Amino acid sequence: MTRARSLLPWAVWTVAALSYAVAIINRSSLAALGPAAQDHFGIDATTLSAFPVIQLIVYAGLQIPVGILLDRVGATTMILIGGVLMIVGQVTMATVPDVGLAILARVLVGAGDACSFISVMRMLPEWFPARQLPTVSQLTGLVGQAGQLVSVTPLALMVSGFGWASGFLAVAALGFLVTLLAALVLRDSPGTGTAFERMIGRTGGITRRSAAYRPQGSASSVEIAPPATGLIEMPHGRVRRGLGFWQRARRLLRLPGVRLAYWVHFTSPFASNTFILLWGTPFLVGGVGLSRGTAAGLLSLTILSSMAAGFLLGPLTSRFLERRVGIAASITVAIALVWIAVLLWPGTPPTWLLVLLMVVMPIGGPASMISFEVGRSHTPRSFSGFGTGLVNTAGFTATLLVILLIGLVLDVQGAGSPENYSLDAFRVAFAVQLPFWVLGLVFMGIEYRKTKRWMDEQGRRLR
């Protein structure tokens, strides 16, 4: 293998990961701007909740349709479509004065975001050996978390110093640059052209030479005719081409391993998503009473912790494949216990407990990446986009419900605006997370046992 060919997978991954990081910046662009958005549009807590909730409804609702399109048109096309939608959304967010149009802007951002992550995850098995995929997946998540750092501090400072429009136009400009780079570099698989090459009808030398590259042990190195997977067979015969949505969903959900992956993703990331996407800054500033600078520092700590966890979990789950679900469950329990300590602490939580929360809670993000490895082990290759989208709906469904419920509970207590925030009101509001953890962990246990029994019947080890 030439040096150029050996570097090409990493060049493709770098640009794909940057595209995902930009999607995270767009998704989290209100992370530290909750009070600023309330002042800018003159809205209460429930309306503020509507921004990320509607965005996440669109994101979660489009995961399966995007997965179907992904299996048909390829990852590069979907990443470019997502980039364009997010650019239009952020330009709209920067320029409209009306809250209704601003919500439309978040719809566009959510639609674009929905195209990004599962497309990047779909691309990875085409370029990397199976043994590297857990590590590369976690590295992808790590780069995405770096995008949240931009949302938490630089974007907030830009909006504060230069105004609302300047901050969001800067995000749109960054998205344009990365989308242009993606059109020039990304390839769905070795030997396929970039979007730019397809547009001009000419194939470059790098693309032609890459056709000979096929990573040993990659998901693409062995053609798996549906419905078989690398581990288990799809129940009841072969999958016909052109199956409808509900037929595809039923066939996948009959696999206990796919259901297990769904509940892993449902349970682990929603606490971190809820905190970073919207309610972290209001809780720390309006509830705990910290300064905005201190709150921004703690939010940055959550992202650094998530990045460090992703760096460690990749090699760990690669080495202990059969224990990866247990690792995800243990992390979720730890997050729940730290949150319970914060909610039950008499008076203002001490700094060390808040720091512990900022360190432990965001590990749920990298833990949720385990769900995609579990799903990949049990999903037919021809269904890979659909399956990834199905699993990815889980955590974001939980997230949007928790975000909305927190806003509603605050309003019911009369604490739905910055001047009325209180620590006691936030304690009650954040307690809505508890039943979601219980539900998720119970179903993780149920589906884990069913998956283990299924795998025993197939004569294979649990993955």
Q: Buried b / exposed e across 197-223, counting CB within 10 Å, b at 16+?
A: beeeeeeeebbeebeebbbeebbbeee
CB atoms within 10 A of CB 247: 12
Q: Is the pLDDT of residue 218 over 60?
A: no
Residue 66 lies in a domain: yes
Q: SS3 of 167, please?
A: helix
Q: What is the pLDDT of residue 232?
A: 36
Q: Is the pLDDT of residue 140 over 60?
A: yes
Contact indicator for 47, 404 with CB cutoff of 8 Å: no
Q: For residue range 58-115, what is the model confidence (pLDDT) as tens digits?
A: 888 888 888 888 888 889 999 999 999 999 999 998 888 888 898 899 899 999 998 9
Residue 258 lies in a domain: yes
Residue 238 lies in a domain: no
Residue 95 buriedness (CB in 10 A; 0-12 / 13-18 / 19+): middle
Q: What is the pLDDT of residue 37?
A: 81
Q: What is the pLDDT of residue 240?
A: 45
Q: For residue range 19-52, what is the model confidence (pLDDT) as tens digits?
A: 999 998 888 877 667 777 877 787 777 777 778 7
Q: What is the pLDDT of residue 461?
A: 59
Q: How far apart are CA 430 and CA 56, in angstroms?
A: 19
Q: Which of 161-170, 286-295, 319-328 has the lowest mean pLDDT?
A: 319-328
Residue 451 lies in a domain: yes
Q: For residue range 365-376, what is the model confidence (pLDDT) as tens digits?
A: 888 888 888 877
- DSSP for 212-238, please give it: T---TTBTTSS---TT--SS-PPSSSP
What angle (nearest 5°) sits at the alpha carbon of residue 106, between those of residues 101 and 107? 90
CATH number of the domain that 38 lies in? 1.20.1250.20
**325 phi, psi to nearest 5 deg:** -65, -40
Q: What is the domain count for the chain?
A: 1
Give Cα separations from 305 to 282, 314, 350 (angstroms): 21, 14, 19
Q: Which residue has the tokens 């589906």?
A: 447
Q: Which domain holds residue 311?
A: 3-193+254-458
Residue 245 lies in a domain: no
Q: What is the pLDDT of residue 336?
A: 96
SS3 of 276-304: the string is HHHHHHHHHHHHCCCCHHHHHHHHHHHHH
Residue 76 buriedness (CB in 10 A; 0-12 / 13-18 / 19+): buried
Q: Can you give the length of the chain in residues?
A: 463
Q: Is the pLDDT of residue 274 over 50?
A: yes
**Average pLDDT score over residue span 393-419:** 86
Q: What is the pLDDT of residue 454?
A: 77
Q: Is the pLDDT of residue 346 over 80?
A: yes
Q: What is the pLDDT of residue 9?
A: 87
Q: What is the pLDDT of residue 458?
A: 66
Q: How far apart are CA 291 and CA 67, in angstroms?
A: 42
Residue 243 lies in a domain: no
Residue 242 lies in a domain: no
Residue scoring higher pLDDT (209 or 76): 76
Q: What is the pLDDT of residue 245?
A: 63
Residue 320 lies in a domain: yes
Q: What is the pLDDT of residue 195?
A: 86
Entry pTM? 0.71
**Average pLDDT score over residue span 144-163:** 77
